[in-house]
Amino acid sequence: MAEKNLQNIDLSEYPHINRGLDGIVAFSTTKSFIDGQSGDLIYSGYHIDILAENATFEEVCFLLWNDRLPNKQELHDLNSSLRKQRGLPAPVLDYIKNTNKSAEPMAVLRSAVSMLADFQDDDADDTANAIALTAKMPTIIAAFNRARQGKDIVEPLADGSTAFNFLYMLNGEKPGEAAERTMDLCLVLHAEHGMNASTFTARTVCATESDMFSAITGAIGALKGPLHGGANTAVMNTLLTLKEQGEDADPVAFTKGKLERKEKLMGFGHRVYKTFDPRAFHLRKMSKALSEETGHEYLYNWSEAMVKTMKEEKNIDPNVDFFSATVYYSIGIQPDLYTCIFAMSRISGWTAHFFEQKANNRLIRPRALYVGEKNLEWTPIEER
Ligand code: SDX
Protein backbone atom coordinates (compact mmCIF):
# COMPACT_ATOMS: atom_id res chain seq x y z
CA MET A 1 0.00 0.00 0.00
CA ALA A 2 2.82 2.39 1.00
CA GLU A 3 4.61 1.46 -2.22
CA LYS A 4 1.57 2.26 -4.31
CA ASN A 5 1.16 5.69 -2.67
CA LEU A 6 4.80 6.60 -3.30
CA GLN A 7 4.58 5.60 -6.93
CA ASN A 8 1.45 7.70 -7.30
CA ILE A 9 3.24 10.97 -6.43
CA ASP A 10 3.29 13.13 -9.53
CA LEU A 11 6.71 14.78 -9.60
CA SER A 12 5.55 17.33 -12.13
CA GLU A 13 3.75 18.95 -9.19
CA TYR A 14 7.22 20.01 -7.99
CA PRO A 15 8.82 21.87 -10.91
CA HIS A 16 11.76 23.06 -8.86
CA ILE A 17 12.91 23.51 -5.31
CA ASN A 18 13.08 27.11 -4.22
CA ARG A 19 16.17 26.97 -2.02
CA GLY A 20 15.78 29.27 0.95
CA LEU A 21 12.22 30.10 -0.21
CA ASP A 22 13.84 32.91 -2.22
CA GLY A 23 11.20 35.19 -3.71
CA ILE A 24 8.26 33.19 -2.31
CA VAL A 25 5.42 35.37 -1.04
CA ALA A 26 3.89 33.44 1.84
CA PHE A 27 1.73 36.08 3.56
CA SER A 28 0.21 39.50 3.12
CA THR A 29 1.14 42.01 5.82
CA THR A 30 0.55 45.60 6.87
CA LYS A 31 3.66 45.65 9.05
CA SER A 32 6.43 46.56 6.64
CA PHE A 33 7.31 47.06 3.00
CA ILE A 34 10.82 46.69 1.57
CA ASP A 35 11.88 47.87 -1.87
CA GLY A 36 15.11 45.99 -2.38
CA GLN A 37 15.99 47.84 -5.60
CA SER A 38 15.55 51.41 -4.37
CA GLY A 39 16.56 50.66 -0.78
CA ASP A 40 13.36 51.84 0.86
CA LEU A 41 11.77 50.53 4.03
CA ILE A 42 8.34 51.38 5.41
CA TYR A 43 6.83 50.37 8.77
CA SER A 44 3.01 50.38 8.63
CA GLY A 45 2.94 53.32 6.21
CA TYR A 46 5.85 55.40 7.52
CA HIS A 47 9.23 55.54 5.80
CA ILE A 48 12.15 54.51 7.97
CA ASP A 49 13.81 57.93 7.44
CA ILE A 50 10.76 59.68 8.92
CA LEU A 51 10.65 57.28 11.85
CA ALA A 52 14.40 57.57 12.46
CA GLU A 53 14.06 61.31 12.70
CA ASN A 54 10.89 61.51 14.77
CA ALA A 55 9.76 58.31 16.46
CA THR A 56 10.66 56.73 19.77
CA PHE A 57 10.86 52.96 20.08
CA GLU A 58 7.63 52.90 22.11
CA GLU A 59 5.80 54.80 19.35
CA VAL A 60 7.08 52.24 16.85
CA CYS A 61 5.77 49.40 19.05
CA PHE A 62 2.34 51.01 19.08
CA LEU A 63 2.51 51.64 15.33
CA LEU A 64 3.40 48.03 14.51
CA TRP A 65 0.80 46.60 16.86
CA ASN A 66 -2.02 48.92 15.73
CA ASP A 67 -1.04 50.09 12.23
CA ARG A 68 -1.34 53.71 13.33
CA LEU A 69 0.56 56.17 15.52
CA PRO A 70 -0.58 56.59 19.12
CA ASN A 71 -2.06 59.84 20.41
CA LYS A 72 -0.61 61.38 23.58
CA GLN A 73 -2.84 59.45 25.96
CA GLU A 74 -2.26 56.13 24.17
CA LEU A 75 1.51 56.60 24.26
CA HIS A 76 1.34 57.54 27.93
CA ASP A 77 -0.70 54.40 28.66
CA LEU A 78 1.67 52.15 26.71
CA ASN A 79 4.71 53.65 28.47
CA SER A 80 3.17 53.08 31.87
CA SER A 81 2.16 49.49 31.01
CA LEU A 82 5.72 48.77 29.83
CA ARG A 83 7.23 50.32 32.98
CA LYS A 84 4.97 48.22 35.23
CA GLN A 85 6.06 45.05 33.44
CA ARG A 86 9.84 45.48 33.61
CA GLY A 87 10.46 43.31 36.66
CA LEU A 88 11.20 39.58 36.38
CA PRO A 89 9.58 36.71 38.30
CA ALA A 90 11.97 35.51 41.06
CA PRO A 91 12.61 32.06 39.50
CA VAL A 92 13.62 33.68 36.19
CA LEU A 93 15.98 36.01 38.03
CA ASP A 94 17.38 33.02 39.94
CA TYR A 95 17.99 31.21 36.68
CA ILE A 96 19.84 34.25 35.27
CA LYS A 97 21.99 34.52 38.39
CA ASN A 98 22.81 30.82 38.53
CA THR A 99 23.28 29.79 34.94
CA ASN A 100 26.72 29.24 33.39
CA LYS A 101 28.50 32.62 33.39
CA SER A 102 30.10 31.81 30.06
CA ALA A 103 26.79 30.96 28.36
CA GLU A 104 25.96 32.91 25.23
CA PRO A 105 23.73 35.89 26.12
CA MET A 106 21.31 35.00 23.29
CA ALA A 107 20.97 31.48 24.70
CA VAL A 108 20.20 32.89 28.15
CA LEU A 109 17.68 35.32 26.65
CA ARG A 110 16.01 32.45 24.78
CA SER A 111 15.75 30.28 27.91
CA ALA A 112 14.57 33.13 30.16
CA VAL A 113 11.90 34.18 27.64
CA SER A 114 10.72 30.59 27.47
CA MET A 115 10.51 30.47 31.29
CA LEU A 116 8.44 33.66 31.41
CA ALA A 117 5.52 31.70 29.96
CA ASP A 118 5.24 29.72 33.21
CA PHE A 119 4.68 32.89 35.25
CA GLN A 120 2.24 34.86 33.08
CA ASP A 121 -1.29 35.21 34.45
CA ASP A 122 -3.63 32.69 32.87
CA ASP A 123 -5.98 35.50 31.84
CA ALA A 124 -3.25 37.60 30.16
CA ASP A 125 -4.20 38.15 26.50
CA ASP A 126 -1.79 38.47 23.57
CA THR A 127 -1.53 42.24 23.97
CA ALA A 128 -0.57 41.87 27.63
CA ASN A 129 1.96 39.19 26.69
CA ALA A 130 3.49 41.36 23.95
CA ILE A 131 3.87 44.24 26.43
CA ALA A 132 5.36 41.92 29.07
CA LEU A 133 7.90 40.49 26.61
CA THR A 134 8.89 43.93 25.31
CA ALA A 135 9.31 45.22 28.84
CA LYS A 136 11.15 42.22 30.31
CA MET A 137 13.65 41.37 27.57
CA PRO A 138 15.94 44.36 28.34
CA THR A 139 15.85 43.40 32.03
CA ILE A 140 16.90 39.82 31.23
CA ILE A 141 19.82 40.96 29.06
CA ALA A 142 21.12 43.56 31.52
CA ALA A 143 20.69 41.21 34.50
CA PHE A 144 22.66 38.41 32.84
CA ASN A 145 25.42 40.77 31.79
CA ARG A 146 25.86 41.97 35.35
CA ALA A 147 25.50 38.51 36.90
CA ARG A 148 28.19 37.04 34.66
CA GLN A 149 30.58 39.78 35.75
CA GLY A 150 29.83 39.13 39.42
CA LYS A 151 28.08 42.49 39.78
CA ASP A 152 24.84 43.20 41.63
CA ILE A 153 21.78 43.16 39.41
CA VAL A 154 20.26 46.61 38.92
CA GLU A 155 16.49 46.70 39.37
CA PRO A 156 14.55 48.38 36.53
CA LEU A 157 13.37 51.94 37.05
CA ALA A 158 9.69 52.83 37.29
CA ASP A 159 10.17 55.62 34.76
CA GLY A 160 12.18 56.52 31.67
CA SER A 161 12.20 55.04 28.19
CA THR A 162 13.10 51.47 27.25
CA ALA A 163 16.46 52.73 25.94
CA PHE A 164 17.23 54.79 29.06
CA ASN A 165 16.27 52.01 31.43
CA PHE A 166 18.25 49.37 29.52
CA LEU A 167 21.48 51.43 29.65
CA TYR A 168 20.82 52.20 33.31
CA MET A 169 20.38 48.50 34.21
CA LEU A 170 23.44 47.56 32.17
CA ASN A 171 25.83 50.13 33.64
CA GLY A 172 24.30 50.92 37.03
CA GLU A 173 24.24 54.63 36.22
CA LYS A 174 21.77 56.81 34.36
CA PRO A 175 22.79 57.43 30.74
CA GLY A 176 23.11 60.88 29.21
CA GLU A 177 20.68 62.18 26.62
CA ALA A 178 22.98 61.35 23.68
CA ALA A 179 23.49 57.72 24.72
CA GLU A 180 19.74 57.29 25.30
CA ARG A 181 18.95 58.74 21.87
CA THR A 182 21.54 56.49 20.21
CA MET A 183 20.08 53.39 21.82
CA ASP A 184 16.51 54.49 21.07
CA LEU A 185 17.34 55.09 17.41
CA CYS A 186 18.96 51.64 17.18
CA LEU A 187 15.76 50.13 18.58
CA VAL A 188 13.66 52.04 16.03
CA LEU A 189 15.88 50.88 13.14
CA HIS A 190 15.79 47.17 14.08
CA ALA A 191 12.08 46.88 14.96
CA GLU A 192 10.62 45.27 11.85
CA HIS A 193 11.75 43.86 8.53
CA GLY A 194 9.25 41.81 6.57
CA MET A 195 9.56 38.06 6.30
CA ASN A 196 13.06 37.68 7.72
CA ALA A 197 14.00 34.26 9.13
CA SER A 198 13.08 34.96 12.76
CA THR A 199 9.73 36.57 11.92
CA PHE A 200 8.90 33.65 9.63
CA THR A 201 9.75 31.33 12.55
CA ALA A 202 7.46 33.26 14.88
CA ARG A 203 4.62 33.10 12.36
CA THR A 204 5.17 29.37 11.76
CA VAL A 205 4.91 28.64 15.49
CA CYS A 206 1.88 30.92 15.83
CA ALA A 207 0.19 29.16 12.91
CA THR A 208 0.07 25.87 14.84
CA GLU A 209 -2.07 27.79 17.40
CA SER A 210 0.79 27.63 19.87
CA ASP A 211 1.34 30.53 22.31
CA MET A 212 3.27 33.79 21.94
CA PHE A 213 6.09 32.75 24.29
CA SER A 214 6.76 29.67 22.16
CA ALA A 215 6.76 31.77 19.00
CA ILE A 216 9.20 34.30 20.47
CA THR A 217 11.46 31.60 21.90
CA GLY A 218 11.71 30.14 18.39
CA ALA A 219 12.30 33.56 16.86
CA ILE A 220 15.17 34.29 19.27
CA GLY A 221 16.74 30.98 18.29
CA ALA A 222 16.53 31.92 14.61
CA LEU A 223 17.88 35.44 15.15
CA LYS A 224 20.91 34.09 17.03
CA GLY A 225 22.54 32.60 13.93
CA PRO A 226 25.37 34.54 12.24
CA LEU A 227 23.56 34.61 8.88
CA HIS A 228 20.81 36.63 10.61
CA GLY A 229 21.05 38.76 13.79
CA GLY A 230 24.25 37.13 15.01
CA ALA A 231 26.14 38.99 12.28
CA ASN A 232 26.52 42.20 14.34
CA THR A 233 28.60 40.42 16.99
CA ALA A 234 30.59 38.72 14.21
CA VAL A 235 31.31 42.12 12.60
CA MET A 236 32.71 43.47 15.86
CA ASN A 237 34.81 40.34 16.32
CA THR A 238 36.24 40.91 12.83
CA LEU A 239 37.16 44.50 13.67
CA LEU A 240 38.66 43.44 17.00
CA THR A 241 40.72 40.77 15.23
CA LEU A 242 42.11 43.52 12.99
CA LYS A 243 42.79 45.64 16.07
CA GLU A 244 44.88 42.84 17.55
CA GLN A 245 47.09 42.99 14.47
CA GLY A 246 48.14 46.50 15.53
CA GLU A 247 50.08 48.40 12.89
CA ASP A 248 49.80 45.47 10.48
CA ALA A 249 46.00 45.75 10.36
CA ASP A 250 44.93 45.94 6.72
CA PRO A 251 41.14 45.85 6.24
CA VAL A 252 41.43 45.85 2.45
CA ALA A 253 43.75 42.82 2.35
CA PHE A 254 41.59 41.15 5.01
CA THR A 255 38.44 41.63 2.91
CA LYS A 256 40.09 40.46 -0.30
CA GLY A 257 41.55 37.44 1.49
CA LYS A 258 38.11 36.44 2.74
CA LEU A 259 36.64 36.73 -0.74
CA GLU A 260 39.50 34.76 -2.30
CA ARG A 261 38.87 31.97 0.20
CA LYS A 262 35.14 32.18 -0.69
CA GLU A 263 34.29 33.09 2.89
CA LYS A 264 31.38 35.35 3.82
CA LEU A 265 32.07 38.80 5.23
CA MET A 266 29.72 39.36 8.11
CA GLY A 267 27.48 42.43 7.89
CA PHE A 268 27.39 42.39 4.08
CA GLY A 269 24.76 41.21 1.63
CA HIS A 270 21.03 40.74 1.92
CA ARG A 271 18.38 38.50 0.43
CA VAL A 272 16.13 41.46 -0.46
CA TYR A 273 18.33 44.57 -0.76
CA LYS A 274 20.30 44.83 -3.97
CA THR A 275 21.51 48.25 -2.87
CA PHE A 276 22.47 50.00 0.38
CA ASP A 277 20.26 48.95 3.29
CA PRO A 278 18.43 52.17 4.30
CA ARG A 279 18.96 51.37 7.98
CA ALA A 280 22.71 51.17 7.38
CA PHE A 281 22.69 54.83 6.21
CA HIS A 282 21.52 55.95 9.63
CA LEU A 283 23.83 53.59 11.47
CA ARG A 284 26.79 54.66 9.35
CA LYS A 285 26.17 58.31 10.28
CA MET A 286 25.93 57.38 13.95
CA SER A 287 29.00 55.16 13.74
CA LYS A 288 31.08 57.99 12.24
CA ALA A 289 30.01 60.57 14.83
CA LEU A 290 30.35 58.24 17.81
CA SER A 291 33.66 56.75 16.70
CA GLU A 292 35.14 60.24 16.40
CA GLU A 293 33.74 61.27 19.76
CA THR A 294 35.12 58.22 21.55
CA GLY A 295 38.52 57.94 19.84
CA HIS A 296 37.59 54.91 17.75
CA GLU A 297 37.93 56.60 14.35
CA TYR A 298 40.22 53.79 13.22
CA LEU A 299 37.35 51.29 13.59
CA TYR A 300 35.08 53.49 11.50
CA ASN A 301 37.82 54.02 8.90
CA TRP A 302 38.45 50.27 8.67
CA SER A 303 34.69 49.73 8.26
CA GLU A 304 34.59 52.20 5.37
CA ALA A 305 37.61 50.53 3.76
CA MET A 306 35.79 47.18 3.92
CA VAL A 307 32.60 48.72 2.46
CA LYS A 308 34.60 50.17 -0.47
CA THR A 309 36.42 46.90 -1.11
CA MET A 310 33.22 44.82 -1.00
CA LYS A 311 31.56 47.21 -3.45
CA GLU A 312 34.52 47.12 -5.85
CA GLU A 313 35.15 43.40 -5.64
CA LYS A 314 31.63 41.94 -5.36
CA ASN A 315 29.17 44.84 -5.72
CA ILE A 316 27.78 43.91 -2.30
CA ASP A 317 26.65 46.56 0.22
CA PRO A 318 26.56 46.49 4.01
CA ASN A 319 23.38 45.47 5.84
CA VAL A 320 21.88 46.62 9.15
CA ASP A 321 24.35 44.55 11.16
CA PHE A 322 27.52 46.19 9.81
CA PHE A 323 27.60 49.70 11.26
CA SER A 324 25.45 48.83 14.29
CA ALA A 325 28.48 46.95 15.63
CA THR A 326 30.67 50.06 15.93
CA VAL A 327 27.73 52.11 17.22
CA TYR A 328 27.23 49.71 20.15
CA TYR A 329 30.99 49.43 20.70
CA SER A 330 31.28 53.22 20.94
CA ILE A 331 28.66 53.39 23.66
CA GLY A 332 30.52 50.75 25.65
CA ILE A 333 28.38 47.66 25.04
CA GLN A 334 30.08 44.26 25.01
CA PRO A 335 30.10 42.64 21.54
CA ASP A 336 28.30 39.45 22.55
CA LEU A 337 25.27 41.52 23.65
CA TYR A 338 24.66 43.08 20.23
CA THR A 339 22.31 40.38 18.95
CA CYS A 340 20.33 40.60 22.19
CA ILE A 341 19.78 44.31 21.49
CA PHE A 342 18.50 43.36 18.03
CA ALA A 343 16.06 40.93 19.72
CA MET A 344 15.03 43.56 22.28
CA SER A 345 13.90 45.73 19.38
CA ARG A 346 12.59 43.04 16.99
CA ILE A 347 10.21 41.77 19.69
CA SER A 348 7.92 44.58 18.46
CA GLY A 349 7.89 43.20 14.89
CA TRP A 350 7.67 39.56 15.97
CA THR A 351 4.66 40.20 18.18
CA ALA A 352 3.00 42.40 15.51
CA HIS A 353 3.31 39.49 13.06
CA PHE A 354 1.97 37.11 15.71
CA PHE A 355 -1.20 39.25 15.98
CA GLU A 356 -1.48 39.40 12.21
CA GLN A 357 -0.98 35.65 11.74
CA LYS A 358 -3.49 34.80 14.45
CA ALA A 359 -6.12 37.11 12.95
CA ASN A 360 -5.98 35.29 9.62
CA ASN A 361 -4.41 31.95 10.35
CA ARG A 362 -3.64 28.93 8.27
CA LEU A 363 -1.16 26.19 9.23
CA ILE A 364 2.22 26.75 7.54
CA ARG A 365 3.16 23.49 5.95
CA PRO A 366 5.24 23.47 2.75
CA ARG A 367 6.37 20.30 0.95
CA ALA A 368 9.76 18.70 0.47
CA LEU A 369 10.78 16.83 -2.64
CA TYR A 370 11.75 13.29 -1.64
CA VAL A 371 14.98 12.28 -3.35
CA GLY A 372 15.74 9.10 -1.37
CA GLU A 373 15.33 5.44 -2.26
CA LYS A 374 11.94 3.79 -2.71
CA ASN A 375 10.87 0.15 -2.56
CA LEU A 376 13.77 -1.15 -0.43
CA GLU A 377 13.41 -4.69 0.91
CA TRP A 378 13.47 -5.14 4.69
CA THR A 379 16.76 -6.63 5.98
CA PRO A 380 16.57 -8.43 9.34
CA ILE A 381 18.90 -6.82 11.92
CA GLU A 382 21.22 -9.86 12.07
CA GLU A 383 21.96 -9.48 8.37
CA ARG A 384 22.78 -5.73 8.33
C1 SDX B 1 19.85 40.32 8.81
O2 SDX B 1 16.05 39.00 5.99
C3 SDX B 1 16.15 40.06 6.66
O4 SDX B 1 15.42 41.00 6.49
C5 SDX B 1 17.26 40.04 7.72
C6 SDX B 1 17.56 41.37 8.43
C7 SDX B 1 16.42 41.80 9.34
O8 SDX B 1 16.31 42.99 9.63
O9 SDX B 1 15.70 40.92 9.83
O10 SDX B 1 17.85 42.40 7.50
C11 SDX B 1 18.78 41.21 9.37
O12 SDX B 1 19.78 39.14 9.04
C13 SDX B 1 20.95 40.92 7.96
C14 SDX B 1 21.91 39.86 7.35
C15 SDX B 1 22.99 39.52 8.36
N16 SDX B 1 23.86 38.45 7.86
C17 SDX B 1 25.12 38.68 7.46
O18 SDX B 1 25.63 39.78 7.43
C19 SDX B 1 25.89 37.44 7.07
C20 SDX B 1 26.67 37.64 5.79
N21 SDX B 1 25.72 37.74 4.69
C22 SDX B 1 25.38 36.65 4.00
O23 SDX B 1 25.79 35.38 4.31
C24 SDX B 1 24.25 36.75 2.98
O25 SDX B 1 24.39 37.92 2.27
C26 SDX B 1 22.83 36.63 3.57
C27 SDX B 1 22.69 35.42 4.48
C28 SDX B 1 22.46 37.88 4.36
C29 SDX B 1 21.84 36.48 2.39
O30 SDX B 1 22.02 35.25 1.81
P31 SDX B 1 21.39 34.78 0.43
O32 SDX B 1 20.29 35.69 0.01
O33 SDX B 1 21.07 33.34 0.56
O34 SDX B 1 22.58 35.01 -0.59
P35 SDX B 1 23.72 34.02 -0.95
O36 SDX B 1 24.42 33.55 0.28
O37 SDX B 1 23.16 32.96 -1.85
O38 SDX B 1 24.72 34.96 -1.75
C39 SDX B 1 24.52 35.34 -3.11
C40 SDX B 1 25.87 35.73 -3.70
C41 SDX B 1 26.90 34.60 -3.54
O42 SDX B 1 27.85 34.83 -4.56
P43 SDX B 1 27.91 33.86 -5.84
O44 SDX B 1 28.10 32.48 -5.30
O45 SDX B 1 26.59 34.04 -6.54
O46 SDX B 1 29.08 34.40 -6.60
O47 SDX B 1 26.44 36.84 -2.99
C48 SDX B 1 27.62 36.43 -2.30
C49 SDX B 1 27.55 34.92 -2.24
O50 SDX B 1 28.80 34.34 -2.10
N51 SDX B 1 27.56 37.00 -0.96
C52 SDX B 1 28.62 37.27 -0.21
C53 SDX B 1 28.10 37.80 0.97
N54 SDX B 1 26.76 37.84 0.89
C55 SDX B 1 26.45 37.35 -0.31
N56 SDX B 1 29.94 37.09 -0.39
C57 SDX B 1 30.75 37.46 0.62
N58 SDX B 1 30.30 38.00 1.77
C59 SDX B 1 28.99 38.16 1.97
N60 SDX B 1 28.53 38.67 3.11
pLDDT tens-digit profile of 6-42? 455 565 666 678 889 999 999 999 999 999 999 999 9
Q: How far away, in angstroms, is 46 Cα from ligand 1 center? A: 26
Q: Is 253 in the pocket of ligand 1 (CB under 6 A)?
A: no
Catalytic residue among 184, 277, 317, 321: 321
Residue 228 beta carbon below 6 angstroms from any ligand 1 atom:
yes
SS (H, E, C) 70-93: CCHHHHHHHHHHHHHCCCCCHHHH
46-47 and 40-43 beta bridge pairing: antiparallel
CB atoms within 10 A of CB 60: 26
For this structure, is 270 an active site residue? yes
According to the model, what pLDDT value does residue 266 have? Answer: 96
Q: Which pLDDT does position 3 carry in this prediction?
A: 45
Q: Among 27-41, 95-109, 358-372, whose mean pLDDT is lowest?
A: 358-372
Q: Which atom of ligand 1 is nearest to the CA of 199?
A: 9
Q: What is the mean pLDDT of residues 336-362?
A: 98
Question: What is the residue with the minimal CA distance to atom 58 of ligand 1?
Answer: 264
Q: What is the pLDDT of residues 167-225, one digit of tens each?
A: 999 999 999 999 999 999 999 999 999 999 999 999 999 999 999 999 999 999 999 99
Residue 318 has pLDDT above 50, yes or no: yes
Asked whether the beta carbons of 337 and 145 are under 8 A apart, the reply is yes
Average pLDDT of the residues in 98-102: 98
Q: Which of 309, 311, 314, 339 to mutate to test ligand 1, by most ligand atoms within 8 A of the CB atom? A: 314
Handedness of CA 218, 219, 221, 225 (dihedral sign): positive
Sign of the Cα torsion 319, 320, 321, 323 reads positive
Nearest CA to ligand 1 atom 27: 227
Write out the E strands in 142-205.
none
Average pLDDT value over all residues in the chain: 95
Report whether residue 258 contacts ligand 1, using a CB cutoff of 6 Å: no
The H-assigned helical ranges of 261-369 are 278-293, 297-314, 320-330, 338-359
C-alpha angle 361-365-368 in degrees, rounded to nearest 5: 165
Ligand 1 centre distance from Cα of residue 294 (Å): 30
Compute the distance from residue 276 Cα to the ligand 1 centre, in Å.
Answer: 13
Say what the pLDDT of residue 371 is.
84
Distance 194 CA to ligand 1 centre (A): 16
Q: Could you tell me the domains of the chain?
A: 49-227+339-359 (1.10.580.10), 231-330 (1.10.230.10)
Is the shortest distance between the CB of 266 and ligand 1 below 6 Å?
yes
Separation of CA 264 and ligand 1 centre (Å): 8
68: left (phi over 0), alpha (psi -120 to 50) or beta: beta
Q: Give residue 178's pLDDT.
A: 93
- Residues 78-106, mean pLDDT to the nearest whole number: 98
Q: What are the tens digits of pLDDT across the range 130-165?
A: 999 999 999 999 999 999 999 999 999 999 999 999
